[in-house]
Structure 1
Amino acid sequence: MNRPLKFYDPEQHPWPNSPLEQTSILGHTTPTTVRLWFRVSEPGEYWLVVSSRPIPTHGIPLLILGDRHEYQLRLTTPTQTEEFFPEIVLPVSLTPATDLTGVMELLNLTPDTRYYYALFDPNRDSPWELGHDQLLWFQTFPEHPKTINFGIYSCHMPYEGRRLANVEMWDRFNQELSKVNARFVLATGDQVYVDGNPELSIWEWLRKVKSQNPTREDMITWYRDIYRGYWGIPEVQRIYQRFPTYMIWDDHEIVDGWGSYTPDELAGLLDISWQLRNKSQQLQFAEEMFEAARQVYWEYEHSHNPETDFAHNQFDYGFDCGRCGFYVLDMRGNRNYNREHHRSLGLEQGSRFEEWIACHYQSDAQVLFIVSPVPVVHLSSFVINKIDLTLFGYQDDQRDHWEHQSNWDERNHLLKLVFEFSQQMHKRVIFISGDVHIGAAFKLSHPDFPGAKVFQVTSSGIAYAHLKEMERRILEMLVKPEGFLGDRPGNIPYHFENLAICRYNNFGILRVTEEDSGEMEICFDLYGGNRDEAGVLSLFKTSINLE
């Protein structure tokens, strides 16, 4: 590749922090399975070793196949040889084709058991890659857990100019997750920002180098550079290695407002003031950037989620944990403001969600959680639909919202499915959201479904560095204490009540406990981080019972 088209350069265009080299991420976990994601420092034919006992890594490893076709790990040091029998030994080929990343799914594990793992390449002078300088482990889930605690966060943008900011929030998140013995984490969008900071924006870079006709392969390297930069922060890696993390993308893994532009507006993202617009070329560049974003999103985020049909652009997925059912909606991969109907989710995803809801009429799940990266409830309909912010470049932000009138029909169909289920089955449904740079909790209601119990909790953003105090106060003021969602004339609108709001950097923890009576107690803890004049971070908690 020609040097001018490289985005990351350690001398000419360095990151504020060291880019990610090698690490692991715990992915989808059940009582008997786990998905492990790896990125390594160099290509190789690696071996993954898994054991319920800590793995000795102080010697040179040699794998020997025993008489019963079980693997034995022999470790040789200058003074001794030690033999170790791991439960699982698997080959792992990691190549530049996927940026040295890959996923291994382990099957037939024992429930509620801690397993240690390590990765090595026997063909290197220093074979150990992961699990040698610190113990790496995961815990399978119990078959019938009575308590399910899990964390939520979104909007990881910890750069102010070329300076790191707010990364202490990740350490505090880790501490609070550990206190409640959290099972997993839901990352509800914007795990990276490809355009959030002008100095670290690959779309600004595209504007500069588009005359050199960059290819999709060039763009793929740019998106990979973004992930390696944002995930190179040690505090982030510690969460990913400690807690199974389920992920879904939002716009900033692609570009701000993706799917909420007209063709002219999308082409305008690549305008240079002195240059006549070549609309067809700029739309082609934008489509190539989306395909590159999609490929790298799969490599870094989606590959360790429950498996879906990548070839058909399916990134929505469901999973169960105990007596809780989860469905994660993809609000970017199929979004198209220019479609006449089903602009946010698309018809196929909408059908899959309907099937998921229908299945839970017969399931033993007592609570349903639905991840909607963009909140169902946020700013009032007046702000979204009556104030024209086109001159300020915010029209995509308005159209992003479920509350935008272009999304009302699709939103109403979604809410009707949810309210009918909650009313008929006497079970709670809780939307989980990010995106909007404040934390909040809402209760929704509708007179046609008086027995329904439907809530929304929002956490955003964990380390977002751009928002100033005045902007945070304005956002807080724009969230009404209660009101009605916008709707078409003749429809009875949904009502919302604001239960809590946090204008600071924040993360959330949901605690679900099955009582002896079989009833489910659900509490949402919203943790806000604020700095005093000396820059010291203090953390405060707001707890809301979702009853």
Structure 2
Amino acid sequence: MPQPLAFAISPLERAVAVGAVTSTSARLWFRAPSSGPYTLLLRREGGRAQRLALPCAPRPGADGTCAFTLPGDVPGAPALRPDTPYSFELGSAGERLGEGRFHTAPDAHPPERLAFGLVSCHQPFDPHGRVREDARAVLRAAQEAYARAGVRFVLWTGDQLYADQPERLSLYAPAYFAPRAPAGRARLQACTAAEVRRLYQARYREFWALPELQALQAQFPGYPMLDDHDVVNNWGSDPAHAGPGWRSVRQGALAAYRDYQGSRVGSARASGSLHYAFDWGPVGLFVLDLRTGRRVEREGEEGGGRVLAPRQLSALARWLAARASAPALFVVAGVPPVFLPRWAATLIGRVARTKPNEGADRWSHRHFVRERDALLRLLHAHQRAHPRQRLVLLSGDVHVGSALALRWPDAPPSYQLTSSALTNAPRELLGPLVARSAPHVHRLLRVDGGARPVRVRVDPLPGAAARGRNPYGGLNFGLVEVDLREPAQARVSLRLLAAGRGGAPRAVFESGPL
């Protein structure tokens, strides 16, 4: 008898998580199977616990999820102190929803050190829907390593959900979709936006049901951004994705994203770019949205597509200018701007059998290369104008970890750290082969779009002795450390870690201070 097409895991019912944190506020998120009332038990380290009633309730259609900000949304909540650890517990109608913790950001007195995490690509299932043990192991290793390093927050840079993997259990696979389909719907694209939203919400409850993942989200403030698989593979790189046949999928998938992810950082608006920025003491981070504005407008033409929403690059330029005195700035781009050289992306785009394919989704593809060059020219101009500032790109998506130096001809180097995949172990051979070879192939990059081209040398960082596996093709998670003891000359260290023997975290790459 054939096995039923289903995930071998009980769907998530209740959970808590921490989102955006400032020096005086914290955004908390929960999912509850009941409608309340809800209570919050809040404790400052070394202080007494305070029980508070929550006036908030899940929005209609939000699948029991709710996000609120402390202290503003909670009557009677105490003011939060800067640079202070807190713990909390959420409950509903006598049952415990979960517990978590957070550390508020510093205020005018910057810390000597900042550490934060970098992850992407969570797909923990084997082809039959069973949770793989290596996925559980790397999640436990990340929790241990981040706690040991004093990580203050984690950047979730995309693909926290896979709507289309494993292939047999894809929402786009007819045999899997049929028993879950709303009445009269033969495929996902025929559903209404509300129906798509419910199907994606159910998908979140399955992908996020692992206790190890819940622990990471509850114990470290998380800053998410969606990528393609949060909707469908290579979302936006097929001209059809901008058409009416995909409109309900787009609306429903993005609504579910806001329910489960975007609401944690306040990205709950129904339209417009999802990009955002935040500061942690003197360090600034800008999180780019590479999907909601991506489209191919003139297929086959040089510059015939766009990656960034129209006003997003201008917003980044203003943000960079406003932080000229910051010791270190990080720009989060879920898909690495520096990956495949143009000729490779074009070749893959022509010969691959699937459409859209991995070549067509890269920044260096002819559709998007002008957008890549505009972004890199902006970063180059900023680095040249502020040579003492550390400027780092942070990425995921490509199922390989790597650390690169972008050596400008007339400015100090900028850097790019990529961490991927957290739990998704690819089964095909071509993708990992391309990903692992890319940092060694793409050694000289030409950036066009100005009065003259800028030629950038791309060097994989050598790494410390015995910890120099760059690129690294196994499951991994990133750790970024910023030494702020000399604010005028911050030092940034980039690390990639994996689960070692016995599950303990082990460093596979360490850059040393940059």
For normalisation by structure 1, the TM-score amounts to 0.80
User: Contact 1:381 / 1:485 at 8 angstroms: preserved in 2?
Assistant: no
For residues 515-534 of structure 1, what are the alpha-carbon distances to aligned partners after superposition, in whole Å with 9 as ceiling and x for unaligned?
A: 24742111111114478xxx
Q: Does 1:344 align with 2:311?
A: no
Aligned residue among 490, 497, 500 for 1:527? 497
1:15 offset after TM fit, Å?
A: 2.0
For residues 339-398 of structure 1, what are the alpha-carbon distances to aligned partners after superposition, in whole Å with 9 as ceiling and x for unaligned?
A: 66660002122222122122123xx41111000011011123221123444552154321
1:90 offset after TM fit, Å?
A: 3.1
Q: Per the alignment, in what secondary structure is the counterpart of residue 485 of structure 1?
A: strand
| Structure index of larger Rg | 1
1:441 offset after TM fit, Å?
A: 0.7
Structure 1 Cα separation of the partners of residues 476 and 314 of structure 2: 33
Q: Does 1:506 align with 2:476?
A: yes
Q: Does 1:137 align with 2:101?
A: yes
User: Contact 1:148 / 1:182 at 8 angstroms: preserved in 2?
Assistant: yes
What amino acid is aligned across from residue 377 of structure 2 in structure 1?
A: K
**Where do 1:319-358 residues align within 5 Å?**
319-338=278-297, 343-358=306-321
Aligned to 2:131: 164
Q: Per the alignment, in what secondary structure is the counterpart of residue 431 of structure 1?
A: strand
Aligned to 2:444: 484
Q: Per the alignment, in what secondary structure is the counterpart of residue 471 of structure 2?
A: strand
User: Contact 1:231 / 1:237 at 8 angstroms: preserved in 2?
Assistant: yes
User: Contact 2:328 / 2:390 at 8 angstroms: preserved in 1?
Assistant: yes
Q: Pairwise CA RMSD of aligned residues?
A: 2.8
User: Contact 1:220 / 1:293 at 8 angstroms: preserved in 2?
Assistant: yes
Q: Does 1:433 align with 2:425?
A: no
User: Contact 1:505 / 1:530 at 8 angstroms: preserved in 2?
Assistant: no
Q: Per the alignment, in what secondary structure is the counterpart of residue 86 of structure 1?
A: strand
Aligned to 1:194: 163
Aligned to 1:225: 202
Q: Does 1:303 align with 2:274?
A: no
For residues 474-505 of structure 1, what are the alpha-carbon distances to aligned partners after superposition, in whole Å with 9 as ceiling and x for unaligned?
A: 53234326522255596343321122310111
For residues 283-304 of structure 1, what are the alpha-carbon distances to aligned partners after superposition, in whole Å with 9 as ceiling and x for unaligned?
A: 5442111110110001101111
Q: Does 1:116 align with 2:108?
A: no
User: Contact 1:431 / 1:456 at 8 angstroms: preserved in 2?
Assistant: yes
1:137 offset after TM fit, Å?
A: 2.9
What amino acid is aligned across from residue 82 of structure 2 in structure 1?
A: P
Aligned to 2:509: 542
Q: Per the alignment, in what secondary structure is the counterpart of residue 201 of structure 2?
A: helix
Q: Per the alignment, in what secondary structure is the counterpart of residue 306 of structure 2?
A: coil
Aligned to 1:148: 114
User: Contact 2:443 / 2:458 at 8 angstroms: preserved in 1?
Assistant: yes
Structure 1 Cα separation of the partners of residues 510 and 423 of structure 2: 21
* Structure 2 residue runs without a partner (length 5+): 72-78, 462-469
For normalisation by structure 2, the TM-score amounts to 0.85
For residues 396-425 of structure 1, what are the alpha-carbon distances to aligned partners after superposition, in whole Å with 9 as ceiling and x for unaligned?
A: 321221111222222222112111111111
User: Contact 1:472 / 1:504 at 8 angstroms: preserved in 2?
Assistant: no
User: Contact 1:461 / 1:507 at 8 angstroms: preserved in 2?
Assistant: yes
Q: Does 1:98 align with 2:98?
A: no
Alpha-carbon distance change, 451 to 487 in structure 1, aligned in 2, over 3 angstroms: closer
Structure 1 Cα separation of the partners of residues 359 and 446 of structure 2: 13
1:470 offset after TM fit, Å?
A: 7.7
Aligned to 2:327: 366
Aligned to 1:294: 254
* Structure 1 residue runs without a partner (length 5+): 1-10, 56-83, 268-282
Aligned-residue sequence identity (percent) comes to 28
Alpha-carbon distance change, 538 to 157 in structure 1, aligned in 2, over 3 angstroms: same
Aligned to 1:24: 16
Aligned residue among 389, 403, 418 for 1:458? 418
- Larger deviation: 491-500 or 290-299? 491-500
Alpha-carbon distance change, 391 to 179 in structure 1, aligned in 2, over 3 angstroms: closer
